[in-house]
Amino acid sequence: MAVELTLVIPTFNESGNLRELVRRVDAALSGIAWEMIVVDDDSPDGTSALAKKIAREDPRLRCLRRVNRRGLAGACIEGMLASSAPVVAVMDADLQHDERILPEMLEKIRAGADLVVGSRHVAGGSAEAGFSPRRAAISRLAIRIAKDALRADFSDIMSGFFMLRRQIVEDCAPDLAPTGFKILADIVASAKQDLKIEEVGYTFRERLAGESKFDIKVGLDFLGLMLNKASGGRIPVRFIFFALVGLSGVVVHLSTVYLTLALLPITFTVAQSIAVVVAMTSNFFINNTITYRDAKLKGFWRQLRGLLYFYVVCGIGAVANVGVAAWLYRLYPEVSLSALAGVLMGSVWNYALSSLFVWREE
């Protein structure tokens, strides 16, 4: 029987959950021709080896082992693209998602829906058990932002549990962002057609084994994605972060000027020069942790070399900034316009050259 439904299971350190997952899915999907693709980012706990071991016993299972890469969204995308079934579903490996609603979701697709979302926020759904109060609040806030940014009108756009016609992903795959958790929001925003979306409620359970990979970086990814969509996809997420870090640099700069002037017997010019170096240094390290976290420079010597390159890039950027501002000011003697144009020129320069030389992909 040809496979009708591919379950895509992204994993990172989920070896404690895999066997139970397969057992429960098997029980829930009796009578349906399904397969499962586990997409593992080379988990140190050996999830992929275990998945392949189970696959030798049960050919409905396959494992895609990705190396030197991390990212929930990217794992989901590659899993869905590895399917040839008409319908694909994404579900977490930790059993927080209730596999027993899968048949009802599939029924809705068969009846004409394009996308069915497992929702914690419709009748029959709840998120209490699986979330701490703090995490539940973050989730609610994210849902509001996403709904506004995407003008999408369904209740659990943050869900990591959904089923859709594979063709929808095939069509928009090149536009999807591979980092972060918000794959569903991204698909809805990037779909090439109007989607008929339905929801099925379920109770978000507690994780069986292991721990959550949700962290501050995941939150940042989400923020970047929403800003990118709000700009119609025209501004790259990385540049948005780069610019925000630049803004933080202004704060660092001003604080350093005030602080050094208050504490040390130095002139303004010296304080200003110290602040330039301090701000560039802080920008470098924040960019290394956040903006370029996927290409992060590690180790003392690599970071030192990166920092020196960053000084050079920013130095030339400052010259470009002043050059453009002065040139514009001669054409239109308008202070804020010229100054802003200079800042924009400098930021784009810094961003482009940092991406090329400081955090170049090796």
Residues that bind Mn ion (CB under 5 A): 92, 94, 96
Is residue 199 near ligand GDD by the rule CB under 6 A?
A: no
Q: Considering the complex, what minimum distance in angstroms separates the CB of residue 91 from ligand GDD?
A: 8
Q: Smallest gap, in angstroms, from Cβ of residue 189 to ligand GDD? A: 15
The answer to whether 92 contacts ligand GDD (rule: CB under 6 A) is yes
Q: Which is nearer to ligand GDD, 209 or 344 (CB)?
A: 209
Number of residues that bind ligand GDD (CB under 6 A): 22
**Residue 163, SS3 per DSSP:** strand
Q: What is the DSSP string of 13-67?
A: S-TTTHHHHHHHHHHHTTTS-EEEEEEE---TT-HHHHHHHHHHH-TTEEEEE--
Residues 205-264 that bind ligand GDD (CB under 6 A): 212-214
**Does 338 help bind ligand GDD (rule: CB under 6 A)?**
no
Check residue 70 for interaction with ligand GDD (CB under 6 A). Answer: yes
Cβ contacts of 43-52, under 8 Å, gap ≥ 24: 43/11, 43/12, 43/13, 43/14, 43/15, 44/13, 45/13, 45/14, 45/15, 45/16, 45/210, 46/15, 47/11, 47/12, 47/13, 47/14, 47/15, 47/18, 48/11, 50/15, 50/18, 50/19, 51/11, 51/18
Q: Pick from Mn ion, ligand GDD, none: which does 65 bind, CB < 5 to 8 A by kind?
A: none
Report the residue number whose CB is nearest to ligand GDD: 160
Nearer to ligand GDD, 118 or 246 (CB): 118
Contact 50, 18 (CB under 8 A): yes
Contacting ligand GDD (CB under 6 A), which of 5, 6, 7, 12?
12
Residues in contact with ligand GDD by CB under 6 A are: 10-12, 14, 39-41, 70-72, 75, 92-94, 96, 139, 158, 160, 181, 212-214
